[in-house]
Amino acid sequence: MDANIVDIGAGCGRWSHWMRDYNFRNRRFTGTYVGVDVDGEAVDWCRRNYDGERFRFHQSGDASVSYDQAGWGNSYRIPEADAAFDLVFSNSLLTHLLQTEAENYLQESYRLLKPHGTMMHTIFNIEHPPATLGTRHTFSHPRGDAMIESETQPEAAVAYHSHFLLSLCRRIGFSACEIIYMPSGAQHQPVLLCRK
């Protein structure tokens, strides 16, 4: 349990508390956890409530209709060293990112990973749509290589085609890329899984 992990879209620590409190047969998490989020209030809370030696939190400078951060850019670089992490993951981050931002975070994932490290991001995928397609989600508006739910709130729900995501990840440099999905009607989002 000494892995170094980056969680993009960490919120108020929904995954980091499992790392902090992990204790299985007296084995504890002894690695490094880095959480990144656009919500400054959540990041500040995490910084106050986690051990700063093993847990670091950064506020992303990305902006959107939902997170208006005037003056911030859309090519955020996570302030961590290249090739220092075993796992970079997110839970429903790419479901709220348009193409430019999605490409940036996939490139950042690659940059941060050690050789043979793993990237794992849950996604909305056109070929394997969520159970909510047709009720809550339609993804009927094209925006670049993305399909969005709302033209007024474009980052509210964003889906991508498998070919686009897999081609992009291979172009970035990932050696093994796949999309893992549950059977039709399942409530779980597909996972974009790649190895450096």
Tell me the CA distances in angstroms from 187 to 20, 42, 138, 140, 168, one per residue in order. Answer: 27, 26, 16, 20, 26
Q: How far apart are the first and last CA of the chain?
A: 20
Residue pLDDT, tens place only, 132-189:
777 778 899 999 999 999 999 999 899 999 999 999 999 999 999 999 987 765 567 9
CA distance 62 to 69: 7
Q: How confident is the prediction for the chain on average, in pLDDT? A: 88
What is the phi/psi pair of residue 60, to 5°? -70, 145
Q: Two tokens at 105?
A: 């975070």
Cβ proximity of 31 and 2 under 8 Å: yes
**pTM assigned to the model:** 0.90
Q: Are 195 and 175 in contact (CB under 8 A)?
A: yes
* Interatomic CA distance for residues 123 and 192, integer angstroms: 7
Question: pLDDT, tens digit, for every residue of 43-67?
Answer: 999 999 998 889 999 998 776 666 5
Report whether 86 contacts 77 (CB < 8 A). Answer: no
For 91, half-sphere exposure in the C-beta direction (CA atoms, 13 angstrom radius) is 10
DSSP secondary structure, 90-156, as one string: ESSSGGG--HHHHHHHHHHHHHHEEEEEEEEEE-EETTB--TTBTTTB---EEETTEEES-SSSTTS
Q: Which domains does the chain have, with CATH numbers?
A: 60-195 (3.40.50.150)
pLDDT band at residue 71 using 50, 70 and 90 as cut-offs? very low
Measure Cα distances from 129 to 23, 93, 132, 190 in Å. Answer: 36, 16, 8, 9
